[in-house]
Amino acid sequence: MYDVIVIGLGAHGSAALYQLARRGLKVLGVDAWQPPHGRASHGGRSRIIREAYFEHPSYVPLVQRAFTLWEELQQASGRQILWRTGGLMLGPETGILLQGTLASAQLHQLKVDILEPDALNSRFPLFHPAPGSLGVFNPRDGIVLTDAAINAQLELAQDAGAEVLTGSAVESWDAERSAVELILSDGRARSARQALFCAGPGMTELLGEQLPLKVTRQVQFWLRPWHSAESFRPDTCPIFISEQREEYGANATGESSFIYGLPDLGSGVKVALHGQGAEVNTDTDLAAAGDADWLPLRGLLARLIPALAAGKPVDTTLCRYTNTPDEHFILDWHPQFSGKVLLCSACSGHGFKFAPAIGEACAQLLQEGRARADLSLFSLRRFGQS
């Protein structure tokens, strides 16, 4: 019998497996596919990591711990995983992005540069934000390379004694008796004292209606700028997020759109809209990217970064985001099996950056019954479950 079985070996499952194995526990990690892969929320090769977290100030200590653990993983694995480029947040002073970013920076005493329009244009001439927009720059932000991160965590977990079983889906599970028992697609049963579910889009299939989750289709584009290509290198171009409001014209709504981008790491500048994908079933093949995906993004880019909008996409990727109604994570014990079955959905399109810190917290909860980090924001109680 295992001490813990981890179901799902993407960003957070692989991190938890590594943390559990290095603590000397007998652990098994299972995944229906071979991570890293494009069927989950970690697809897309790279992710932004940023410190002054606009979504909620409670994320800041967690991402600071993640920075430390990413650096440790990079050193232990010999792989480049973390790439610091600095991060630029752009938007109206009264918008969600800047208000939240500055609130987190103030609460946690983070040193960020607030850029008025003239200073913004002088420092980052590639960007053409809407009139009245400000910039907030944090030199500590950057990029996490997703495939390298997951591979490193899985390899180090196995070096520490973890077993990994890929290409094997969970057909059913039961935690009513003394152990948690899983029946896998090979027909065999595996048992453990505890189980950790980190199955991303598969959480809805494995746990039914017990979790308030939906899965959406997301598209990322890689572009070649039509001029000034050297300005988009990671040593000259920061990661960026821009909030743009539709306040003018026939289609004015006053609502915000969020566009994000990463500099060219060799295959083009990565850009995408955040959080506007259609809901999909986890077992549905994702429709290929087309004009319906590209044209709205190009319209926003034409105003923000004209040098990119004039180019054509050289590549696209698709992935599934698992979302909660309030876009905060779920990290809590199963309502019926507290202390035995832990649920982790660190999701809603902004979870990857936290993976090693979330994995560490999961390992602490499973081994010690409590985590060092404040996880109260991620409780199921906010959805009326306990």
pLDDT at residue 177, rounded to an integer: 92
**For 303-359, how does the pLDDT look when each residue is reduced to its tens digit (9 = 90+)?**
999 989 887 799 999 988 899 999 999 999 999 999 999 999 999 999 999 999 999
Contact by Cβ (8 Å): 232, 126: yes
Residue 249, helix vs strand vs coil:
coil
**For 136-172, how does the pLDDT look when each residue is reduced to its tens digit (9 = 90+)?**
999 999 999 999 999 999 999 999 999 999 999 999 9
* Average pLDDT of the segment spanning 38-43: 78
**Closest C-alpha to 81, from 379, 356, 291, 382:** 356
Alpha-carbon distance of 177 to 161, in angstroms, equals: 27
Pairwise pLDDT comparison (113 vs 254), residue with the higher score: 113
pLDDT greater than 60 at residue 253: no
Average pLDDT for the chain? 93
Alpha-carbon distance of 150 to 41, in angstroms, equals: 12
- What confidence category does residue 228 fall into, taking pLDDT thresholds of 50, 70 and 90? confident
Alpha-carbon distance of 113 to 130, in angstroms, equals: 19
Eight-state DSSP code of residue 279 = B
How much of the chain exceeds pLDDT 70, in percent? 97
- What residue ranges define each of the domains in the chain, with the CATH number in brackets? 2-44+146-207+326-383 (3.50.50.60), 87-139+214-323 (3.30.9.10)
- What confidence category does residue 254 fall into, taking pLDDT thresholds of 50, 70 and 90? low
pLDDT greater than 90 at residue 178: yes
pLDDT greater than 60 at residue 6: yes
pLDDT at residue 251, rounded to an integer: 44
pLDDT at residue 350, rounded to an integer: 95
**211: Cβ contacts below 8 Å, ≥ 6 apart:** 203, 204, 330, 343, 345, 380
Task: Report the residue count for the chain.
Answer: 386
**360: Cβ contacts below 8 Å, ≥ 6 apart:** 15, 19, 65, 69, 371, 372, 373
pLDDT greater than 70 at residue 250: no
pLDDT greater than 60 at residue 248: no
pLDDT greater than 80 at residue 386: no
pLDDT greater than 60 at residue 249: no
Alpha-carbon distance of 320 to 249, in angstroms, equals: 33
**Lowest-confidence range among 104-118, 244-258, 366-380?**
244-258
pLDDT greater than 90 at residue 37: no
pLDDT greater than 70 at residue 237: yes
